Structure 1
Amino acid sequence: MRVYAMLQKIVLVLAMVQVSVYANEADSTLSGYYMTHIGDSGRQSIVEFFSKNGKFYAYGFANVDGSGPKKDSKNPDPKLRERYDKGAVFVYGLKSDGKGGFSGGEVYNYDDGKTYHLKITKDSSGKLTLRASIDKLGMMGQTLTWTPLTQAQIAQYESQKPDPKVVEDSYQALPQAFK
């Protein structure tokens, strides 16, 4: 009887460890679709996060109001002012801490043409809290919230996704330090 009770405890402990590992895996990924905050331009976008080489990246591909892509007219690099925001990687280089936090990346803001340091936390509902700042510590910046999309919302916007080559080309153009 003692052996049976001990086996039950071992099975229970193993089940708890498995649940814990699964929860940490869920917290350690950003991959998926999100609706952004409403930007200074008054637009709200749909973005997809993806993982490559252990880091996370995001690109935008649709606007909630149905408007089309816009040119990157405020980019400090004149050669990039004619590119469109659709499919362009604008969040890059984030690394997971395994506990729902992501840091070490940057975000490019199409509304002002500036790049900011970025930290993200993901809560249990999947919402993302972004801290975009001019300093690495996040002392001087702005906090934003992005919401995960439901399957129905994903279906609504999926047809607007760019050709994967557009996203890959944008990724390849990133500085080597963020790859």
Structure 2
Amino acid sequence: MGIFILLMAMAWAGDLNGIYITHIGDSGRQSIVEFFKHNGKYYAYGFANVDGSKPKKDIHNPNPALKERFDKGTVFVYDLVRDGNTYKNGKIYNFDNGKTYYLKITLEKDDLKLRASIDKSGLMGETLIWKKLSEQEAQKYLSQKPSFQEVLKTIPKE
């Protein structure tokens, strides 16, 4: 029985699902985001700002049809595939400049080390650190979460 529990713990170790606090972005805001798995890939959407500021429209989006959507409740990290404690082959959209970057994430304890880059190999880019929130820390933001069904509708189709 002990070996089974150990194997189950190892299988769940390093899971990306959960609620995180981001770095302070170009806009000066820090967001609360949730990662989830859907159809074998990992995604994330933002649903609150630490400073309590309201959602902003996606005015920098190069697609005119998307300029009226809001940054909160919209999937902006997508298509990540798990490979051990690394998640790769993903993309991250930056609402502050309307650009999409290649993304690789490495789990380091309860931190996410995100490597966003303009090249697929990750040589030309920036590394960001996001911290996982405990259930207690996340509690004050949960009332702002949108319907999960609405979030799923925002997954980019590429």
Quickly name the TM-score band, shorter chain normalised. over 0.9
Q: How do 1:16-165 residues align onto structure 2 when only pairs under 5 Å count?
A: 18-27=5-14, 29-98=15-84, 100-124=85-109, 126-165=110-149
Secondary structure in 2 aligned to 1:59? strand
**Following TM superposition, by how much is the alpha carbon of 1:119 offset from its aligned partner in structure 2, in angstroms?**
0.2
Q: TM-score, normalised by structure 1?
A: 0.83
1:175 maps to amino acid = K
Secondary structure in 1 aligned to 2:153? helix
Going by fraction, where is helix more abundant, 1 or 2? Answer: 1
Name the CA distance, whole Å, in 2 between partners of 1:31 and 1:159.
19
2:114 maps to amino acid = L
1:136 maps to amino acid = K
Q: TM-score, normalised by structure 2?
A: 0.94
Going by fraction, where is strand more abundant, 1 or 2? Answer: 2
Which runs of 5 or more structure 2 residues have no equivalent in the other structure?
none
Secondary structure in 2 aligned to 1:147? strand
Aligned residues, how many? Answer: 158
Name the CA distance, whole Å, in 1 between partners of 2:54 and 2:129.
23
Name the CA distance, whole Å, in 2 between partners of 1:25 and 1:158.
23
Secondary structure in 2 aligned to 1:22? helix
What percentage of aligned pairs have identical amino acids? Answer: 54
Secondary structure in 2 aligned to 1:36? strand
**Following TM superposition, by how much is the alpha carbon of 1:175 offset from its aligned partner in structure 2, in angstroms?**
1.7
Name the CA distance, whole Å, in 1 between partners of 2:9 and 2:68.
44
Q: CA RMSD in A?
A: 1.5
**Following TM superposition, by how much is the alpha carbon of 1:23 offset from its aligned partner in structure 2, in angstroms?**
2.3
